[in-house]
Amino acid sequence: MSQVTVERVTHDRWDDAIAVDNGTIELLAPTTIGPRITEFGFVDGPNEFHLFEEVRDEWPLLGGHRLWHAPEDRERTYTPDLEPVAADLLDDGVRLEKSPGEDNVAKAITVRMAETAASVEVTHELTNAGQWPVEFAPWALTVMKGNGTAVIPFTPQADPESLLPDRSIQLWPYATLADDRLSFGEEHLYLEQDPDGAGETKIGTAAGDGWLAYLNDGHAFRKDFAHDPDATYPDLGSDTEVYTDDYVTELESLAPIQTVEPGETVTHVETWTLEDGVEDLDATAAIESDAI
């Protein structure tokens, strides 16, 4: 019998929402907007995600976890998700579905929580509801609260004797390698969120490790996802991207670019895990363990 509790609750901000917990971790998904997951963390603990109170013109600045499609485009990508979604309650989670918007793309997020472990499987679906084939990639973005550090794996992918490069770093026009929030280890990159930092910056990697992590207040949040070495990824080959500014850090994973036929659905799956007692960047065993 499942140890997971799934219930519809009344929320002060979202009115109607779905709460999911297994006694170890809990999450909240509104039904009045979305699909979006606005809260995630240990039971009775702080929200690991950041939520904004305000919105802005080009897209709703809400926070939490959302689903977009890449490559980024001002007209297509920023379709607001402020309309109600259909919610199908499952034994171990919830499926949230959004009708197509101006982009002619239907979105769905399905959450399935482990019975007792601090683990959640999050499946993202994009369906081409238009009349013509479209090229895009599912893009999963998680807004983390401030004062933490993103850990980006950057391990060798090829035989040490290879004569060809096996990894790359992508920089957005507003980013620089001289940013003092960015540091380099032997097998990881680190990007620190600093409330007194130098504004926004963003980096992407094409390393193929298939995970990202964020350390904050002794907690390690990690998201795992599949990498296809033979596929073409957005943004000069990035399957992993991290953005930060003076307020938040975003952990972003991307699926390959695909030609999606009318009526066709493409998916991108992340597995979220949460670990307690990870106090510093030297605790790489906890970050990289299969147990979290």
pLDDT value for 77: 83
Query: What percent of the chain has a predicted confidence (pLDDT) above 90?
Result: 82
Query: What mean pLDDT is reported for the chain?
Result: 92
pLDDT value for 228: 94
Structure tokens belonging to residue 124:
């993202």
pLDDT value for 292: 40
Q: Are 6 and 18 contacting, i.e. CB atoms less than 8 angstroms apart? A: yes
pLDDT value for 209: 92
Mean pLDDT for the stretch of residues 101-108 = 93
pLDDT value for 288: 63
pLDDT value for 284: 55
Reported as a single tens digit per residue, the pLDDT across 163-183 is 999 899 999 999 999 999 999
Q: Is the pLDDT confidence value at 1 over 60?
A: no
Query: Residue 101 — pLDDT band, cuts 50, 70, 90?
Result: confident
- SS3 string, the chain, reads CCCCEEEEEEECCCEEEEEEECCCEEEEEECCCCCEECEEEECCCCCCECECCCCCCCCCCCECEEEEEECCCCCCCCCCCCCCCEEEECCCEEEEEECCCCCCEEEEEEEEECCCCCEEEEEEEEEECCCCCEEEEEEEEEEECCCCEEEEECCCCCCCCCCCCCCEEEECCCCCCCCCCEEECCCEEEEECCCCCCCCEEEEEECCCCEEEEEECCEEEEEEECCCCCCCCHHHHCCEEEEECCCCEEEEEECCCEEECCCCEEEEEEEEEEEECCCCCCCHHHHHCCCC
pLDDT value for 281: 62
Q: How far is 7 from 114, CA to CA, in rounded Å?
A: 16
pLDDT value for 81: 86
What's 106's domain CATH number? 2.70.98.10
Mean pLDDT for the stretch of residues 7-24 = 97
Q: Is the pLDDT confidence value at 2 over 90?
A: no
pLDDT value for 158: 84
The larger pLDDT score, comparing residue 206 to residue 291, is at 206
Mean pLDDT for the stretch of residues 13-17 = 96
The pTM is what?
A: 0.94
pLDDT value for 44: 96
Q: Is the dihedral of CA 220, 151, 256, 33 positive or negative?
A: positive
Q: Is the pLDDT confidence value at 277 over 70?
A: yes
Q: How far is 167 from 205, CA to CA, in rounded Å?
A: 7
Q: Which residues make Cβ contacts (< 8 Å) with residue 135, sequence separation at least 6?
A: 257, 258, 259, 260
Domain hosting residue 231, numbered range: 5-288
Q: Is the pLDDT confidence value at 290 over 70?
A: no
Reported as a single tens digit per residue, the pLDDT across 214-265 is 999 999 999 999 999 999 999 999 999 999 999 999 999 999 999 999 999 9
Nearest to 70 by CA among 262, 252, 270: 252
pLDDT value for 58: 55
pLDDT value for 72: 93
Reported as a single tens digit per residue, the pLDDT across 41-82 is 999 999 999 999 866 655 678 999 999 999 998 878 888 888
How many domains are contained in the chain? 1
